Amino acid sequence: MARLIWPIINFLQAAVTAVWSAGWISVALVVRWISRDTRAPLAMARRIWAPLLIRGAGARIELSGLEQVDFSRPHLFAINHQSIIDIPVIFSVLPVNLRFVVKEELRRVPFLGWYIAAMGMVFVDRRERLRSLTRVRQMSELITSGGSVVYFPEGQRSRDGRIRAFKTGAFLPAIEAGVPVVPVAVAGTGEVLPPGGFRVRPGTIRVSIGRPIETRDLRKEDRREFANEVRARVTALYEGLVERYR
């Protein structure tokens, strides 16, 4: 019976997700056009759009470590990546407006691509290294102007839960701007919404936020070693989540 019911439930969830997202993105774009400001449209994603998607998936979030971050300062949040639901999860748990580093392909997605571009988020074309680096440098302007940025350093979703090597691109602007990098581990999103298709299942998503890592004394030549350090911190946080709930 479950094999028959779940496809129907997931179809309805996908339809609601599409309508909800298109509707609120349209409102956000109108607000952006009228106000000439991104603060309200970004807050709408954090306070309205993302929480309903989490509830609609039947997911529950457990969060730890939030008190370690001074959210009055800009940060780069480096996060492991298991599922597309990671994005609404991060929007929901971090109490500041966020911009993401996203793959170039999303620019062509109706509504979503329009919103990402209008909010000044950073598109990265992984096939063109030099061009990607140029675009990622836009983060320096975002960060130095007081904005916080979310970066998935693995570059793509992990299908087996293992945390892959971290790319260095987005760490360079953080080093140049001298802003802290916050390691964040997410566990359970791959079970709630696995890669490939739209097979949502209720579950618990756990997020662990680590102590910010200062970059003020680093040089651009240090970015590979620094990326490895951030990966080690994220991996330790992730293993702690897995071990705690095993």
Output the domain CATH number for residue 46: 3.40.1130
- Domain count of the chain? 1
pLDDT at residue 155 in the model: 80
- Pairing type for strands 181-187 and 203-209 reads antiparallel
| 203-221: average pLDDT | 94
| 137-144: average pLDDT | 77
- What confidence tier does 245 reach under pLDDT thresholds 50, 70, 90? low
The 10 Å Cβ neighbour count of residue 126 is 14
pLDDT at residue 204 in the model: 95
pLDDT above 60 for 131: no
| 190-194: average pLDDT | 93
pLDDT at residue 136 in the model: 64
Amino acid identity, residue 183?
P
| 49-72: average pLDDT | 95
| 179-206: average pLDDT | 93
Highest mean predicted confidence (pLDDT) among 15-24, 119-128, 213-222:
15-24
Cα distance between residue 229 and residue 225, in whole Å: 6
pLDDT at residue 52 in the model: 95
| 8-19: average pLDDT | 93
Q: Do 59 and 203 contact (CB within 8 A), yes or no?
A: yes
Residues 144-180 as b/e (b if ≥16 CB within 10 A, e otherwise) read: eeebbbbbbbbbebbeeeebeebbbbbbbbbbbbebb
Using left for φ > 0, alpha for ψ between -120 and 50, and beta otherwise, residue 37 falls in: beta
Average pLDDT value for the chain: 90
Whether this prediction's pTM lies above 0.85 is answered by yes
pLDDT above 90 for 47: yes
| 155-178: average pLDDT | 84
Q: Do 72 and 214 contact (CB within 8 A), yes or no?
A: no
pLDDT at residue 41 in the model: 95
Enclosing domain of residue 14: 2-244
More confident residue, 208 or 3: 208
pLDDT at residue 49 in the model: 96
pLDDT above 90 for 210: yes
The 10 Å Cβ neighbour count of residue 239 is 13
pLDDT at residue 229 in the model: 96
